[in-house]
Amino acid sequence: MLAATMSGSMQNDPFTTSRFDRFAEHNRDRRTRSLVGIMLLVLAIAAVPTWLSVEHFRTFVILEEHGVKTSAEVLAFEGGGRGPRTMTISPDDNPSVFTRLNHWPRGTEVGDALEITYDPANPGRVMAVDAPVVDASIAIVALFEIGALGLVALIVPPGLALLVRRVRDRAWRPRPDPEASTNRGGRQPRSHRLAWAPAAWRRIKHEAQEQGAWTSIMVFTFAPIAFTLLCVGATLVEVRDLAALHERGVAAQAEVLSSEWGSNRQDRLMVWVDEEESWITRWTGVPRYGDPIDVTYLPENPRVARQADVFPWGPSQFVFAAAGIVGVITTPFVASAAIAGMLARAARARGQRAATAT
């Protein structure tokens, strides 16, 4: 008896219990999906700075292996606020290329010549030779990355260990709720897969009911509808142009005028086709001024064109399409809950006025 009491007191002693045991005891009755959701949220927060850091170091490696050093002319600065965010330059060995630079030496002005290193296969991957190794933006991303990785190290490994313990040890599975059990041997009622949907709908309804009318209209109704219409409209325009090129497009040979690059990717390519300028958003290689390129364009609108055998959609088009699909699915759900909440708020206000009048 004394031994059992001493062992129990030792287990409850914060100095003898490990941090993981205290973490596990704290999360013992928490639902598994909540724990998984927390871990996914932490990983999502850390994904953005991690990707930026990987791309930054990847640029160093690629330019060290395949980079070409040359001089470039500073054409313009872009951005606002306290200072320009990007610089547009044109390499001297390919003047038809216009690329953006994110870091450059202090005191650089428009018209100056810079020594740069860029990837000939992707002129958007470029660095100034005399640019500072660490500036304000790089330092912010680095600090954010360190904090995000520290949060991942603190949350994800203990969470995974707790999930493994729940799967392997029945004693660490969520304790049953006696009030929710049925009369047949204490069995728990079977949960429905979409049980979260009515709960989320009621939650949005409650928030819309508690908030002001204009806040509910703007946040839960106008904003989702406007976002969905924007994404769906942009996607429909792209689909319309793609279908028109497939049905009525004419094959021709265009002349390259210039190409624009930014953030390690293609931006747009200007070509001369059917006596008009046209922009292409995706192409192959790094064409120079005057190079011929096979395109498909609309005779009634030569500005709608694409390079032959190259699908014209890039990451932005797919993002808009995915966001439009998500908006079409979720907007009726959110808007209907918000309208129900506002109607309930109005009914409650009428009831209060009637009670005050009597």
Provide the percentage of residues in the chain whose pLDDT is more than 70: 80
Average pLDDT, the chain: 82
- pLDDT of 180: 47
- pLDDT of 117: 94
Q: Give CATH for domain 250-312.
A: 2.40.50
Looking at the predicted structure, is the pLDDT value of residue 57 above 60? yes
pTM of the model: 0.68
- pLDDT of 270: 95
263: left (phi over 0), alpha (psi -120 to 50) or beta: left
Torsions phi, psi for 290 (to 5 deg): 90, -10
Residue among 337, 331, 343 nearest 223 (CA) = 331
Same fold, 67-132 and 250-312: yes
Long-range Cβ pairs for the range 5-14 (8 Å, 24+): none
| pLDDT digit string, tens, across residues 263-279 | 788 889 999 998 899 99
Architecture of domain 67-132: Beta Barrel (2.40)
Look at 44-58, 82-96, 191-205, 248-262 and tell me which has the smallest mean pLDDT: 191-205
What are the domain boundaries of the chain? 67-132, 197-231+318-357, 250-312
More confident residue, 169 or 92: 92
Residue among 129, 119, 113, 130 nearest 97 (CA) = 119
